[in-house]
Amino acid sequence: MLVFIHAFLLVASTRADNWLQYNGNAGNRTSNETIGTIPWSKAAPPTPYWKIPTPNGFSSFSVADGKAFTLISRVHTDAVKREFCVAFDTASGAELWAAPMVRADPYDSGGDTAGGGDGPRSTPTCDGERVYVLDRNLNLYCFNDENGAVVWKKNIVADYGGRNISWQNAASPLLEGELVVMAGGGSGRSFLAFNRTDGALVWKTDVNEKMTHASPVAATIHGVRQIIFYTQSGLVAVSADKGEELWRYYIAYSTSAGASPVVSGSYIYHSAGYGVGAGVCRIDKIDQNFEAVEVWRKQGELENHWSTPVCYNGYLYGLYGYGMYESAPLKCVELATGTEMWSKPNFGQGNLMLVGNKLVVLGVAGDIAVVEATPTAYTEIARADVLEGKCWSSPILSDNRLYARSSEEGICFALSSVASGPMAPGNPRATTLTLDSMTCEWEDKSDNETGFVVYFGAGPQAPDDETSRTEANATRWTATGLSVNTQYAFQVSATGGTSESAKTENYTTWTLAATPKAPTVGSPTVSTLDVAVGEGDLNPATTVYAIRFADGNQWVQADGTLGSSAVWKDAASWATVTVTGLPSDTDCGFQVLARNGAGVKTALGPVALGRTKPAPPIKPGVMIIY
């Protein structure tokens, strides 16, 4: 099992009932609202608040403060068919304004692709004051959300050497704090961040990366806020504040990648169609340096054509299958191993989101299904047909109103009967990790809770038993007396009166490993020393270690030679290793580094010295070969 953390977006509009951008406020397609009783079914579909025309394309909705935004194409007053950013009143569905953009010519290699039609594929991003759109031609717009007036605009191709791709842009801009972030710039400025208020360039990343159709995501990994891009060379992460490269992970590219990376703690899931397949990498950090380490990869398998999965309690839920436009199955896949847990066919290439512990899935033919997010078996709670046309867009939830659209129409209806209890907490995470304690934190999503219940236990499984209760408005609880380098899990629910909300997803993490003691060094020869690790420290037997040769940045390899990369093995596997290739008659120092189950490394332990033997004197006229 893995570590889970969901970073949250810091923007001006932070009401829980807003859905500000394509992948959701936290970038994980997750809502912290609670699904109550579902009053609709296939036999009795939901009665919509409204249903409106949304002609052409695959843009999704975003919502902020009473307005819903999406992209469409239609004939403008100048008799030219154009793409528009349109604002609708969330209460009535009435069109509030429509801002014209580029001509709606057929997309490069587009047209009626797979019977889906043509049109804009990006989704507007909003913050309660402005709306941000990255159009097909890499023009970045900022509109006033009251009237659709252009506040600022950037031509990425003309101003930043932008390079579009086949089928043209489908990625949505990422709102991260005060920044609007995107890929698509040219060499030396491939990733760009603009001030969301005035459009001033804040940073650019000096790399030469070509964009894909995947939208970037933001996450906090090992305490560092970063933006992760899925590029044509693979995953590339940069610091959110300066745009400086932190790490990269190579992935083969073919034709298109449309699904965003999925972040779960220090683990990153990626997938693409066209034979690429899926995989997971783990992000490690030592000192100030990040490294991406492959966990698993399955070429040509588990392909998300463009639908981004969600992750809940260590399992991915998504629509899989390259080219399976009408028949793509909904699958549950274990994040740690890529093992398929179950599969339900015939959803097609739609999209989905997570609400509490339930999936809301929009099928390609316009059906909405609510499904339990459990690896045990496919368990459907409700399903109804709600839309005509192709649905390659994502459903979203805002204030119990589900918004969904197709290439023909958009709909808004009540997902469930509104529950009277408190809303589930969000953003579970652990901070202030030590050898024997951790602080569990969460985000208070309600204003009517009377307290919170903490479920905490050892191991990766979601704890069943209540551990502690806190007062209302609390957002943290500290566990003490824990074991060194041990995995723990926790969930939190909110209470109000006699009701209890859904729990947060199961968050698992590890206490820190103890800094190793000095290794044992002995049995010298002219060019070798024996080194043993793990004796007398506090770490459990499962802890892994790396041995550093202190004279230069070299590491002991599994065969005893010295190399540039650390090799990680537990103490029993290292046993006593004979280190070779050492200089004769020299004090040689060795240090040991430990790593916990989450990949967090300790400081280097103290140096242990061993002296190799001097080489025997060479007698005149005698050649000695060692």
Same domain, 177 and 115: yes
Same domain, 60 and 190: yes
Which distant-in-sequence residues (6+ apart) come within 8 Å of 400 by Cβ? 17, 33, 414, 415, 416, 418
Give the model's pLDDT for residue 279. 97
How many structural domains are present in the chain?
3
CB of 172 within 8 A of CB of 22?
A: yes
CB of 264 within 8 A of CB of 276?
A: no
Residue 607 has pLDDT above 80, yes or no: yes
Same domain, 584 and 445: no
Neighbours of 44 (CB within 10 A): 9
Confirm whether 99 is domain-assigned: yes
Confirm whether 502 is domain-assigned: yes
Confirm whether 619 is domain-assigned: no
> Which of these three, 148, 180, 211, is where a domain ends?
211
What number is the average pLDDT over the span 69-80? 92
For residue 82, what are the β-bridge partners? Answer: 74, 103
Residue 1 has pLDDT above 50, yes or no: no
More confident residue, 494 or 505: 494
Question: Tens digit of pLDDT for each residue in 307-323?
Answer: 999 999 899 999 999 88
Question: Tens digit of pLDDT for each residue in 576-606?
Answer: 999 999 999 999 999 999 999 888 899 999 9
Confirm whether 84 is domain-assigned: yes
Give the model's pLDDT for residue 13. 39
Select from 56, 108, 62 the least CA-distant residue to 82.
56
Compute the distance between CA of residue 497 and CA of residue 530 in angstroms, rounded to an integer. Answer: 65
Compute the distance between CA of residue 446 and CA of residue 449 in angstroms, rounded to an integer. Answer: 6
Same domain, 503 and 552: no
Confirm whether 41 is domain-assigned: no
Compute the distance between CA of residue 540 and CA of residue 529 in angstroms, rounded to an integer. Answer: 26
CA angle 501, 505, 507 (to 5 degrees): 130
Confirm whether 345 is domain-assigned: no
Reported as half-sphere exposure (CB side, CA atoms, 13 A), residue 459 has a value of: 4
What number is the average pLDDT over the span 125-129? 96
Same domain, 66 and 207: yes
Same domain, 85 and 173: yes
Confirm whether 477 is domain-assigned: yes
Question: Tens digit of pLDDT for each residue in 345-380?
Answer: 999 999 999 998 899 999 999 999 999 999 999 999
CATH of the domain at 540: 2.60.40.10
Same domain, 448 and 565: no
> Which of these three, 486, 510, 534, is where a domain ends?
510
Range of 472's domain?
426-510
Question: Tens digit of pLDDT for each residue in 210-226?
Answer: 999 999 999 999 889 99
Q: Output the average pLDDT for the chain.
A: 91
Same domain, 154 and 56: yes
Same domain, 67 and 184: yes
Confirm whether 90 is domain-assigned: yes
Select from 284, 328, 359, 326 the least CA-distant residue to 596.
284
CB of 306 within 8 A of CB of 321?
A: no
Select from 333, 282, 283, 281 the least CA-distant residue to 304.
333
CB of 490 within 8 A of CB of 428?
A: yes
CB of 228 within 8 A of CB of 237?
A: yes
Compute the distance between CA of residue 93 and CA of residue 343 in angstroms, rounded to an integer. Answer: 36
pLDDT band at residue 2 under the 50/70/90 scheme? very low
Same domain, 60 and 193: yes
> Which of these three, 461, 490, 510, is where a domain ends?
510
Same domain, 488 and 538: no
Question: Tens digit of pLDDT for each residue in 518-570?
Answer: 999 999 999 999 999 977 788 999 999 999 998 778 999 999 999 988 999 99
Same domain, 77 and 167: yes
pLDDT band at residue 625 under the 50/70/90 scheme? low
Residue 551, SS3? coil
